[in-house]
Amino acid sequence: MNPSQVNVIGMDLVAAVHKTGPDIATFVVSAIIIIAGAIGVVFSRNPVHAALSLVMTLFGVAVLFIEQQADFLAAVQIIVYAGAIVVLFLFVIMFLGVDRRENIAAEPLHWQRPLALVLMAAALAGVIALGVGSHWATGQQAVAGSTTAGGHSNVYLLGKSVFTTYLYAFEATAALLVIAVVGAVVLARRPSLPSVEPETDARGAAVSGQPGPDGGLHDAAPRGSAAQDASPADVRAGQSLVKEAGR
């Protein structure tokens, strides 16, 4: 493989696109939709509302994709994210019954929220300062080639790059998906069994009433006892359920 073939990406630069009025209008409207949706995700106290806001954001992004002539990406964005992933979110939310309003006041780490605000403000200030002070020239005006380069459609170009430049990544993704499925099955199909571990071993120092010497994460959260104390009665209940299911 000679190196010139390696460097194909990004060489097919398009000139700076002339922005027309409709382009700008589309961008502004979808940007507002995206940001409003994102804010909704963060600030909704109801998980279902947050998920709906996420859908809104995804739609806005899809519109931006279309505006950039990435039609296929836009459609896939809606099919995969809005159509499947958020539906699964909602499925889980409804199934687990976590669609209650969270009590935000119960905060184990009191300094966490102010600290987050301060850090966010600092980061934002830094970004703005950098953006204003120096234009972030990167030497590339548009890194991707045209979405319709060489008179080919979007799908053609995408398929081509998947089977040439990103062939290995594509195949590795297959391995990733397989292992994700195997892992999910291994985790999901486990019975809740009686725990055999003593409290001592779980938290060397916590037993004696002191916090962990390193101030690890576990100190913030009390130990959940539900999983640990799965009693034999649970196992028995599981078995009877199994029997009923078999009938």
Q: How far is the CB of 129 from other proteins (least distance, A)?
A: 11
Name the residue nearer to other proteins (CB basis): 122 or 143: 143
Min dist CB 102 to other proteins, Å, is 15
CB of 12 or CB of 107, closer to other proteins: 12
Rounded Cα gap, residues 206 and 208, in angstroms = 5
Residue 34 CB, shortest distance to other proteins, in Å, is 16
Q: Which is nearer to other proteins, 94 or 115 (CB)?
A: 94
- Angle, in degrees to the nearest 10, between helices 47-67 and 21-43: 160
Q: Letter for the amino acid at 177? A: L
> Quick one: 94 or 121, whose CB is closer to other proteins?
94
- Amino acid at residue number 52: L
> For the chain, how big is the Rg over CA atoms in Å?
26
Of 10, 170, 163, 152, the closest CA to residue 72 belongs to 152
Cα separation, 68 vs 142, whole angstroms: 12
Q: How far is the CB of 228 from other proteins (least distance, A)?
A: 4
Please state, in angstroms and rounded to a whole number, the distance separating the CA atoms of residues 12 and 145: 5
Name the residue nearer to other proteins (CB basis): 32 or 172: 172
Structure tokens that stand for 190 in this block: 């486990």
Helix (H, G, I), strand (E, B) or coil at 240: helix
115 vs 207 by CB, closer to other proteins:
207
Alpha-carbon distances, residue 202 vs 117, 194, 218, 227 (angstroms): 34, 15, 11, 13
Nearest approach, Cβ of residue 171 and other proteins (Å): 9
Cβ at position 205, least distance to other proteins in Å = 6
